């Protein structure tokens, strides 16, 4: 783990940037390195990859739980030039902020409005055939891996864990299964993107965690460019969720990317 020398938000208060409480926002921008070897996610051992989430959980406990200055963590991963990946060596970016960031606000508003978490909602409403499973005994436990029925771009995936909102609440098995699921999806994309789209592997992972009922990750591959309709809020997806789920399931069970 290292602190970014060129953070997008300063750890010190910035004049003329007051929040709703008339206080100045500040933050910490950290880079979390899953390995010191030059590997892609799916080339790592799941046990090693899962240690990243253990470290993130420790950071949560120290910075969020034991500090009154920081209110939320925004964890992401960018990979590929098309998705803002500035480094070829795999890493996460963790931002600890003195305010509730917009993505967490939306999750909290969803829970308040519907009296259930987004992952509970997905478990109830997302068709069963859109759930990704492994045929071997090495499945994902209580980690749910889904192609959302409202998929905005081809091969979008949601990975969720019910009843755990923070990374520091996860058991070793949950971290391991969460890691396996991410590795399998990205590994499948490493085949899909060159073969189907003639593109190099390129994706964003957005992690949703905090004072919510169930944490989850969105894996968003750069399979389709946003046009005018998408930028105005109407998404035209050039693939069906069911066909994407079928292709994912076939590749995940083939292990050709390992």
Residue 52 belongs to domain spanning:
2-223+234-252
Residue 168 forms part of a structural domain: yes
Radius of gyration over alpha carbons of the chain, in Å?
A: 18
Per DSSP, the chain holds a count of helices (H) and strands (E) of 6, 8
User: For the chain, how many structural domains are there in total?
Assistant: 1
Residue 228 forms part of a structural domain: no
Residue 257 forms part of a structural domain: no
Where are any strands of DSSP class E within 36-171? 72-79, 92-97, 143-146, 157-161
Residue 125 forms part of a structural domain: yes
Residue 60 forms part of a structural domain: yes
List the CATH number of the domain containing 84: 3.30.428.10
Pick from 16, 8, 174: which is nearest to 95 by CA?
8
Residue 185 forms part of a structural domain: yes
Please write the tens of the pLDDT for every residue from 179-225: 999 999 999 999 999 999 999 999 999 999 999 999 999 999 998 87
Residue 245 forms part of a structural domain: yes
Please write the tens of the pLDDT for every residue from 86-129: 667 778 889 998 889 999 999 999 999 999 999 999 999 999 99
């Amino acid at each position: 783990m290292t602190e970014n020398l060129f953070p997008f938000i300063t750890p010190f208060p910035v004049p003329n940037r007051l929040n709703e409480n008339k206080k100045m926002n500040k933050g910490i921008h950290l880079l979390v390195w899953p390995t010191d070897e030059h590997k892609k996610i799916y080339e790592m051992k799941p046990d090693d990859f899962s240690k990243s989430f253990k470290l993130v959980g420790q950071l949560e406990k120290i910075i969020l739980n034991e500090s009154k200055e920081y209110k939320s963590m925004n964890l992401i991963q960018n990979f590929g030039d098309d998705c803002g990946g500035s480094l070829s060596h795999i890493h996460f970016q963790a931002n600890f902020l003195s305010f509730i960031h917009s993505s967490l606000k939306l999750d909290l508003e969803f829970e308040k409005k519907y009296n259930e978490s987004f992952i509970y909602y997905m478990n109830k409403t997302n068709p069963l055939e859109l759930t990704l499973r492994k045929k071997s005994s090495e499945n994902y436990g209580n980690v749910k891996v889904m192609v959302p029925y409202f998929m905005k771009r081809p091969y979008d995936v949601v990975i969720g864990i019910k009843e755990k909102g923070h990374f520091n609440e996860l058991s070793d098995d949950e971290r391991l299964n969460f890691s396996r699921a991410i590795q399998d999806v990205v590994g499948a994309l490493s085949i899909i993107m060159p073969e189907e789209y003639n593109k190099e592997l390129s994706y964003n992972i957005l992690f949703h965690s905090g004072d919510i009922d169930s944490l989850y990750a969105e894996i968003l591959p750069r399979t389709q460019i946003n046009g005018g309709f998408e930028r105005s809020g109407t998404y035209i997806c050039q693939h069906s969720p069911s066909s994407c789920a079928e292709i994912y399931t076939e590749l995940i069970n083939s292990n050709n990317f390992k």
